[in-house]
């Protein structure tokens, strides 16, 4: 997909971070943009800012974990613009203590947003794209955490590995039917976003009395490591720029920060050599 002018982009998690940067880049490419997010005030601010700049923008409050919200998002997109050409399954939350300390509510919240959000959108938007018969592209925002192995942020890691696999499978299936839909999986390392404060949007249904787990020295150290990494991370704009270069060249794997490639290489070598997993810490963190 090389031509973007007057085409329609749908972006989940569009109110901040990578999603906000993708929205700005879509506007620069003269696309019509549908912004989806669960954070109402932030979503409205982005809509107003982009409209003030002359963009054609529609904001839809969306909880991606709920299929009916994605159905509504798709319908409003069709009602307003008649088609969708570029889908960014970008909404995501961080979370998870150790595997054994994370609560069932923790697992449900993170997996429902990070994995089921992409599943819902894929099942609803892909048939629309196939019916259109036009050139389209889907970008799923996973993470380097979905390509390498390590401790901490456990549910997030599991969800992102699953999202990488979903993306790879979708790529092969669409290629087998010779569709005009391209697929990419975006796997950034640390990025300067609010991912460490994702709990601000955690619904009450996933926050039950007694669910809070006291942090251990290990989980505290890992949390500090992640927060430090995010503070030193690349900008969301850099991620958006790398993403559009990949879309234009129909590239599947998008790794905006090359400093993390050693961790991916080490995991592949561990698998091929049947070695126990190695945790590789990037040298610049």
Q: CA 27, CA 150: separation in Å to the nearest integer?
A: 37
Catalytic hit among 156, 171, 206, 260:
156
CA atoms within 13 A on the CB side of 5: 0
Based on the residue annotation, tell me whether 253 is a catalytic residue of this protein: no
Q: CA 285, CA 283: separation in Å to the nearest integer?
A: 6
Q: Residue 214: how many CB atoms within 10 A of its CB?
A: 7
If you write DSSP's letter for every residue of 50-110 in order, what string do you get? Answer: HHHTT--EEEEE--TTSHHHHHHHHHHHHHHHS---EEEE-------SSTTTS-HHHHHHH
Active site residues: 156
């Amino acid at each position: 997909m090389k031509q973007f002018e007057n085409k329609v982009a749908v972006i989940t998690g569009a109110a901040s971070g990578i999603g906000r940067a993708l929205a700005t880049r879509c506007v620069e490419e003269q696309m019509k943009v549908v912004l989806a997010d669960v954070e109402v005030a932030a979503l409205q601010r982005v809509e107003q800012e982009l409209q003030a700049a002359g963009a054609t923008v529609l904001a839809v409050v969306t909880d991606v974990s709920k299929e009916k919200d994605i159905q509504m998002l798709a319908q409003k997109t069709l009602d307003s613009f008649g088609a969708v050409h570029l889908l960014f399954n970008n909404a995501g939350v961080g979370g998870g203590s150790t595997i054994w300390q994370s609560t069932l509510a923790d697992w449900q919240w993170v997996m429902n947003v990070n994995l089921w959000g992409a599943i819902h959108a894929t099942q609803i938007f892909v048939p629309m794209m196939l019916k259109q018969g036009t050139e389209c592209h889907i970008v799923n925002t996973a993470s380097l955490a979905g390509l390498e192995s390590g401790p901490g942020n456990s549910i997030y890691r599991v969800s992102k590995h699953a999202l990488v696999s979903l993306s790879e499978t979708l790529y092969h299936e669409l290629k087998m039917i010779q569709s005009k839909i391209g697929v990419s999986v975006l796997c950034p390392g640390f990025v300067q976003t609010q991912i460490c404060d994702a709990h601000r949007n955690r619904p009450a249904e996933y926050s039950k009395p007694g669910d809070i787990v006291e942090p251990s020295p290990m989980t505290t150290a890992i949390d500090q490591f992640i927060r430090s990494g995010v503070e030193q991370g690349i900008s969301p704009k850099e991620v958006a720029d790398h993403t559009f270069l990949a879309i234009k060249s129909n590239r599947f794997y998008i790794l905006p920060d090359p400093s993390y490639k050693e961790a991916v290489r080490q995991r592949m070598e561990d698998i091929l050599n049947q070695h126990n997993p190695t945790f590789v810490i990037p040298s610049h963190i």
